[in-house]
Structure 1
Amino acid sequence: MKKILALSLIALFILTGTSFGDSKVKGAVINQSTVKDAANISVGEGNTANMGSVKIKDSKVKGAVINQSNVKNAANIAVGKGNTANMGSVNVQDSKVKGAVINKSNVKNAANIAAGRDNTANMGSVNVQGSKVKGVVVNQSNVKNAANIAVGEGNTANMGSVNVKDSKVKGAVINKSNVKNAANIAAGRDNTANMGSVNLQNSKVKGVIVNDSNVKNAANIAVGEGNTANMGSVNVKDSQVKGAVINKSNVENAANIAGGKNNTANMGSVDIE
């Protein structure tokens, strides 16, 4: 019984990942987790499900932020209203980071699902929002035999992607993700499905933007109204970039679908708006 209890506590610690809020950290933030044959589920209103992830909110970090997670045969699910499901991801919100932000995650035979309203599903991704980063932002994720699904209204499904919104980055933004035998789905209204992509919105970047992703035997789908599906693409909107924008993506045996009204599907593209 004691052994079972100990194992349960260890599993709980691993699944929740590393989270910082309203904190000051002088030194590196490192999450090196291994999740196997596990389920992490958040059901209700305003809940969050984190598996093998790092989350930094309203904080100051002087040092690198590194997530090195291995997720295998696992399910990460957030069901309800305003929920978020993070698997093998790094999320920085309203924070200042002086150092590199690096995500090196391996996701295999896994499902990451956010179902309901205003939900977000992140798998093997880096998300920077309302933040300042002085250092490179690197996403090097491997996603295989996996499903990343956001279903409902105003949802976002990110798989092997880098997303920078309302932020300032002094350094390169690099995405080197490998996605194989996987499905990334956003279904409903005003949803976004990103697979092996780099997305910048209302941001300033001083450095090169590089997308070097490999997508094989995969489906990236946004179905409904006003949806967007991005696969192996670089998308820059209302942003300022001082440096080259490079897209070196390989897409093979894959489907990128935006079905419905006023939808957009981007595959192996560079879009600057």
Structure 2
Amino acid sequence: MRRLAYLLGAILAVGAIATALWPDPWAAADRRAVADTARLAALIDQPDRIGWRLSEDPAIARAVLWDDKGDRRYPPTEQFTPVPYKIGEDLDRELSQLRVGLTQPQWFRLDATGRTQFHCRPAPAICVEYLRPQLEAALSMPPGQLLDDPTGPWRAVVLALASLAALAVAIWPQTKPTPTEAVFHLHPDRHCATRGTLEIALTPRDLKLLILLQARAGAVVTKDELYDAGWGRDFMPNSRALDQHIATLRRKLDPDKSRPVLIETVRGAGYKLVV
């Protein structure tokens, strides 16, 4: 195990050096997106001109703009909007949810094929959908340069930290929690859970999901059932809100990743609480 950790650390260290020296194609995409969002945001009171601006740029598929109150200004809800630039209700809700939790500019891939990519900014509040092949062509990049998820200049930092972590695993004394340290108890009245000596504060939605999972401990709970429990019936079938929430909940339940898996993914079906 230690030998493998040493090897992994060395590989990641080499990868960090190579990544730091290799130009990041997403840096050019970021610069392009900053300029585009600024131009479109300046036209927020002139939706017809936004439509013309979109029609002139083959790299931009659609754009969504909100005002300071969070109301959507483009595409307008009541005025005429050219068909290529309209958005459906599901996409409107999903982008609105992304915008609310946004603190800095970020790329999002909502298309499973990877053909399009959204760039969203909190201020001004705007999301621009780019056609990846056309964006690569506009930036004079070879096809496939923007295929991977954007990580910006932090790629090398992440790899370097990962290599240090692998080396730390190799030299750090290996200890495992005793069974009593990993025992899980849910306390609905206190809005918390405990795993041994660890006490975890839970949100109301955390609690609803865990109560359902515990009631069916060892059995699969479908995503639809979990959505009904945590969000009610007004949710998007293709939303990743549940997956993202479960990932956050797992981090809460095992912040140092030293305990057995508690919530297990059942691919294609849902989740189950491991007993």
Q: TM above 0.5, one fold?
A: no
More helix by share: 2
With normalisation by structure 1, the TM-score equals 0.23
Higher RCO (Cα < 8 Å, 6 or more apart): 2
Question: Which structure dedicates a bigger proportion of its chain to strand?
Answer: 1
